[in-house]
Amino acid sequence: MKAIFQEYFRPGIVHFMAFPETMDGKTNIEHTIKKIACDEYFEVMEITWIDDPDTRGLVKNLCGSAKINVVFGAQPVLLRNKLNLNDENPDVRKKSIETMKKCIDQAYDVAAEGISFLSGNYEEQHKQRAFDLLIESTEEICRYAKEKNSMMVELEIFDYDIDKKSLIGPTNLARDFAKKIRGKFDNFGLLVDLSHIPLVKESSAQAIVPVKDFITHIHIGNCFISDRNSPLYGDQHPPFGTPGSENDVEQLAEFLQVLLDTGFFDKKQRPIVSFEVKPLKDQDPDIVIANSKRTLNQAWLLVNEE
């Protein structure tokens, strides 16, 4: 195989992780979105909540003019507001669903092709109940998104016992969940993140093969689990190759190879593979983005050597 990776997937970036100050929906949004829109390396930008409707309109126009596709990430909204789509408290769950619907509305406003989210915390003794509640919530969300130009709804698989402590969670549980939702809604898929694979104690093959028929979206990033006392411990998305971290060129190449071998890239429309990386304290986001590009370039060269 001798081909540029753009023939296989659309490279993207999670805007709100590269520029974390934007997660409040207000700060430095226009400047940072314009910066990414001007970078021809990227075909997709993943954004989150934007408070001001005029700014949302500006973002839509900027991305449209730049020919960059938009995806909406609801994860920061759910996490910052301590919401939980599988909460046993009906009031919390209702508010969580309502918030997701508002996120879908915002995603529609910026012409996003999809929206991603995560499951909530759970108690082990009530795990089945949490699973059933998440099914109910997700079906309602998919139904609502279906009315918005059949917008894709994608559940991101997170860790279950280290940082976010989400219900989903291990890959096998994600597979069971996806089977139930996909049986009713064709606008549902799973989002697999390279940075979460070490957190769930799996290999790339273990994280991909069982759910290969349901994966519609990929994030690539890094995590740190070698020192519980480090401020980087857990799901902090440090730059690739950070000393003591889990992922760099070799791990990314292995991940891409498994995706290639399982046919993930053989889709009618090229799927999205987005960087999700966050600058460390006092790091320049532009340097971290450049690090990510070089890491992907080098990893793809390794894949080509196979």
Buried b / exposed e across 283-297, counting CB within 10 Å, b at 16+? Answer: eebeebbebbeebbe
Write down the pLDDT at residue 149: 86
Q: What is the mean pLDDT of residues 7-22?
A: 98
What percent of the chain clears pLDDT 70, i.e. is strictly above it? Answer: 99
Q: Say whether pLDDT at 2 is over 70.
A: no
> pLDDT of 99-135, one tens digit each?
999 999 999 999 999 999 999 999 999 999 999 999 9
- Residue 246 has a pLDDT of 98
Give yes or no for a contact between 133 and 87, defined as CB atoms under 8 angstroms apart.
yes
215 pLDDT tier (thresholds 50, 70, 90): very high
DSSP-derived letter for residue 234 is B
Q: 160-170: per-residue pLDDT in tens?
A: 999 999 999 99
For residue 14, list its beta bridge partners: 46
- The pLDDT assigned to 306 comes to 63
pTM over 0.85? The answer is yes
Place of tokens 């730049």: 66
Question: Does residue 276 have a pLDDT over 60?
Answer: yes
Predicted pLDDT of residue 99 = 98
Q: Can you say whether residue 149 is alpha, beta or left, with left for phi > 0 and alpha for psi between -120 and 50 degrees?
A: left
Fold annotation for 5-305: TIM Barrel (3.20.20)
| pLDDT more than 90, % of the chain | 96
Mean pLDDT for 181-199 is 98
Query: How confident is the model over 240-273, as pLDDT tens digits?
Result: 999 999 999 999 999 999 999 999 999 999 999 9
Quote the tokens at residue 213. Answer: 């028929």
**Predicted confidence (pLDDT) at residue 79 exceeds the cutoff of 90:** yes
Average confidence score pLDDT of the chain: 97
Read off the pLDDT of residues 131-187 as tens digits, 9 standing for 90 and up.
999 999 999 999 999 999 889 999 999 999 999 999 999 999 999 999 999 999 999
CA 264 from centroid of its chain's CA atoms: 16
**The predicted structure's pLDDT at residue 1:** 57
